[in-house]
Homo-oligomer: A and B are copies of this chain.
Amino acid sequence: MPIFVTNMATSDVKGMVGDPVVLGVLTVSDRASVGEYEDEGGPAIVGFFEEAIASEWSHHYQVVPDEVDSISSALIDMVDNLGCDVIVTTGGTGPAKRDVTPEATELVCERILPGFGEQMRSISLQFVPTAILSRQVGGTRGKSLIFNLPGRPKAIRETIDEIWKSVPYCLDLLGGPYIDMNDDVCNAFRPKNARRR
């Protein structure tokens, strides 16, 4: 399964407040990985990036089956070789036997940030009581942040629009690039002394 790269050049790079950022999108789905089903989760995540990120950004996108090895290899490749600053996965976080995305994510992360899973479940609980079945996690590998999103586009946007408010400052603390956001779409928070504008 090849890795697709898209470079989204922003018109006025010179005048930008933020640094360029490299993003990873990993869709985990047996059916999508063999082409039986068209991935909707990945494009929903990219759609959020297009609307919300003001910094120059590029992204790597891959679709893998629900296998711990495939998922963890893809995550390691995206961080260690492709230099992704943030990787977002979609799919494979439920209680079913084939759902192993959280296991693979924990395997490659050096640290877990328990607040990511907690808040994502808490947000989704406002919409469906079955949100507690999700085992989504977030964590760091080196200077990179990795976290799991739900599979359905609607649930993805309910979650990422809220969760991402903490991502730019997380990258600052990890020593990564300064991600500037479009405040009207995603009003990310930084303490005053950490703001460039």
Q: Is the interface of A mostly helix, strand, loop or mixed?
A: helix
Q: Is the CB of B170 within 8 A of A95?
A: yes
Q: How many copies does the complex hold?
A: 3
Q: How far is the CB of A175 from chain B (nearest CB, A)?
A: 7
User: How many residues does chain A have at the interface if contact means C-beta atoms less than 8 Å apart?
Assistant: 38
Cβ 8 A contact of A94, one of B94, B121, B173:
B173
Which A130-154 residues have C-beta < 8 A from chain B? 130-135, 140, 145
List residues of chain B with CB within 8 A of the CB of A97.
174-175
Contact of A116 with B by CB under 8 A: yes
Q: Given that A111-B95, A135-B111, A174-B95 are contacting pairs, would A169 and B119 also be in contact in the complex, using a CB cutoff of 8 Å?
A: no
Partner-B contacts on A (CB < 8 A):
94-97, 111-119, 121-122, 125, 128-135, 140, 145, 162-163, 165-166, 169-170, 173-175, 188-190
